[in-house]
């Protein structure tokens, strides 16, 4: 994958399974992500656009990756945790089995998706905070 998960490979250490509280903490910890609802389920938007949502009685998280290559890599290397349905086949989106994914892997996937979808202003702010530039 082009982002952090691709450089490190799949996260294969740590306990499998994340709680809804962990999902919310990881997603809402990303700058510019707002919580709402979609199809009656909790959802998250980035810059006003779909980023992720829960489905299947909160057992699955749908993440808009904005990259077919990343999706295909996740499906190949972590099939227990990541899958798609026919509905999502033509979208750069992956479904995550919360009971099977490791928290570190989910955090990496969400960060990569955030980097691809974040408005330039947020990317610059994030870059500045990592570089120590607080002159804004």
Report how far residue 82's alpha carbon sits from residue 100's, in angstroms, rounded to the nearest whole number: 8
Residue 87: the pLDDT is 95
Residue 8: the pLDDT is 41
Report how far residue 136's alpha carbon sits from residue 116's, in angstroms, rounded to the nearest whole number: 23
Nearest to 4 by CA among 127, 132, 112: 112
Angle between helices 103-117 and 68-77 (to 10 degrees): 170
pTM for the complete prediction? Answer: 0.82
Residue 97: the pLDDT is 98
CATH topology of domain 4-118: 3.90.1150
Nearest to 5 by CA among 104, 116, 123: 104
Mean pLDDT, 10 residues at a time, the chain of 136 residues: 44 79 96 92 93 93 96 96 97 97 96 92 75 51
DSSP output for 26-84: HHHTSTTEEEEEETTEEEEEETTEEEEEEETTTTEEEEE-S-HHHHHHHHHH-TTTEE-
Residue 126: the pLDDT is 76
Extents of the domains making up the chain: 4-118
Residue 9: the pLDDT is 45
Tally DSSP H helices, then E strands, for the chain.
5, 6
């Amino acid at each position: 994958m082009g982002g952090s998960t691709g450089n490190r490979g799949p996260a294969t250490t740590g306990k499998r399974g994340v709680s809804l509280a962990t999902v919310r903490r990881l997603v809402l910890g990303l700058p510019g992500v707002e919580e709402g609802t979609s199809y009656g389920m909790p959802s998250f938007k980035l810059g006003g656009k779909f980023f992720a949502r829960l489905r299947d009685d909160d057992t699955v998280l749908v993440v808009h990756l904005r990259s077919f290559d990343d999706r295909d890599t996740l499906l190949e290397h972590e099939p227990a945790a990541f899958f798609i349905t026919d509905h999502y086949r033509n979208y750069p989106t992956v479904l995550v089995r919360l009971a099977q994914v490791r928290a570190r892997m989910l955090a990496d996937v969400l960060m990569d998706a955030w980097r691809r979808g974040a408005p330039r202003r947020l990317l610059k702010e994030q870059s500045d905070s990592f570089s120590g530039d607080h002159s804004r």
